[in-house]
Amino acid sequence: MANFRDKKILVTGADGFIGSHLVERLLEEGAKVKAFIYYNSFNSWGWLDSLSKEKLDQIEVFAGDIRDPNGVRTAMKDIDIVFHLAALIAIPFSYHSPDSYIDTNVKGTLNMVQAAKDVGVERILVTSTSEVYGTAQYIPIDEKHPRQPQSPYSASKIGADCIAESFYRSFDLPLTIVRPFNTFGPRQSARAVIPTIITQLLMGIEQIKLGDITPTRDLLFVKDTVNGFIEIAKSEKLIGEDCNIATQSEISIGDLAQELIAQINPSAKIFYDEQRTRPEKSEVFRLYGSKEKISKLTAWTQQYTLSQGLAETIAWFKDKENLKQYKANIYNV
């Protein structure tokens, strides 16, 4: 698949963080994009509302719910390629509302692959997460690493991956499981650590509340993540495979926080907040991904260093219109 020009592409979760960036990237590729957003009575299109009118005029918006198989089939009519990103992703919320994660992440993915099989799409990419690996048993974490369901969220994504893989094996569905590591950047939700730190700093809070700062993460700027999706979709060699998008590096939450403090407000200090700490057996203490497979089988390369990505993210949050959408003084689960 050389390019996406004039391909009809469905993006689920298009109203979210990574999804909205992917929609923009697909428009640059010349694709005809149908953006599947979560229906709501406010008529909000999520982060798509922040796109220019010129871009929005090129997008077909479909409001629905991936938990509803009829809506999913309707959205997938006449579609060539599917990028399935819609999911519940907050780990703390999965502790007290696990049913909703099974409904959305497992059943929602089943609805997507079933409809893709029925209508005969050219390709479907199902989004996984590095959380399925749990704490690294070895590094770098490659696609053969054991799965460890250390939270209900992680368990739901492992289940979704298995459903997707079963449709490739049972029905030859042209499918790839895309597994991004810890993506960050403009529009990321307030429940993630980088927006948590940046928004507190920009709002003048000098006691930065964090949970455990010892875990490490493999941090990937969102534009690199989106380019990974694009290159994976172009690679026929990855049909029936799962594929990491990773930088093959790591940084601790503590070192990350100190880097952001140094850039924004050097007088700020980190304070431990117990409610932000995961149960010990649930915390993923080390994520350090392998990029060998994606580098070997696609044209993807990392374009942004961590410092470049953080600088672009901070600049976005400094815009008052963007910052006012975040509640830095409240712990977002």
**Can you give the chain as a three-state secondary structure string?**
CCCCCCCEEEEECCCCHHHHHHHHHHHHCCCEEEEEEECCCCCCCHHHHHCCHHHHCCEEEEEECCCCHHHHHHHCCCCCEEEECCCCCCHHHHHHCHHHHHHHHHHHHHHHHHHHHHHCCCEEEEECCHHHHCCCCCCCECCCCCCCCCCHHHHHHHHHHHHHHHHHHHHCCCEEEEEECEEECCCCCCCCHHHHHHHHHHCCCCEEEECCCCCEECEEEHHHHHHHHHHHHHCHHHCCCEEEECCCCCEEHHHHHHHHHHHHCCCCEEEECHHHCCCCCCCCCECCECCHHHHHHCCCCCCCCHHHHHHHHHHHHHCHHHHCCCCCCCCCC
pLDDT under 50: residue ranges of the chain: none
Q: Are 253 and 300 in contact (CB under 8 A)?
A: no
Alpha-carbon distance of 268 to 290, in angstroms, equals 34
Report the number of distinct structural domains present in the chain. Answer: 1
Identify whether 1 is part of a domain: no
Structure tokens at 281: 């057996």
| Predicted structure pTM score | 0.96
CATH code where residue 170 lies:
3.40.50.720
Q: List, for residues 290-312, the tens digit of each pLDDT value.
A: 999 999 999 999 999 999 999 99
Question: What are the backbone dihedrals phi and psi of residue 8, each rounded to the nearest 5 degrees, phi first?
Answer: -90, 115
Domain span holding position 50: 8-184+220-245
Cis, peptide link before residue 140, omega less than 30° from 0: yes
pLDDT (0 to 100) of residue 23? 98
Identify whether 299 is part of a domain: no
Alpha-carbon distance of 267 to 302, in angstroms, equals 33
pLDDT (0 to 100) of residue 311? 96
Identify whether 285 is part of a domain: no
Residue with tokens 């700093």: 201
pLDDT (0 to 100) of residue 1? 60
Alpha-carbon distance of 157 to 98, in angstroms, equals 12
Identify whether 251 is part of a domain: no
User: What's the chain's length in residues?
Assistant: 333
DSSP strand pairing (32-38 vs 8-12): parallel
Reported as half-sphere exposure (CB side, CA atoms, 13 A), residue 154 has a value of 17
Identify whether 321 is part of a domain: no
Q: Are 279 and 235 in contact (CB under 8 A)?
A: no
Identify whether 29 is part of a domain: yes
Q: What is the CB neighbour count within 10 angstroms for residue 129? A: 23
Identify whether 97 is part of a domain: yes
Identify whether 232 is part of a domain: yes
Q: What angle do CA 106, 40, 94 make, to 5 degrees?
A: 35
Within 8 A by CB and 6+ apart from 85, the residues are 11, 12, 13, 14, 16, 18, 19, 22, 127
Q: Which of 117, 42, 41 is nearest to 72 (CA)?
A: 117
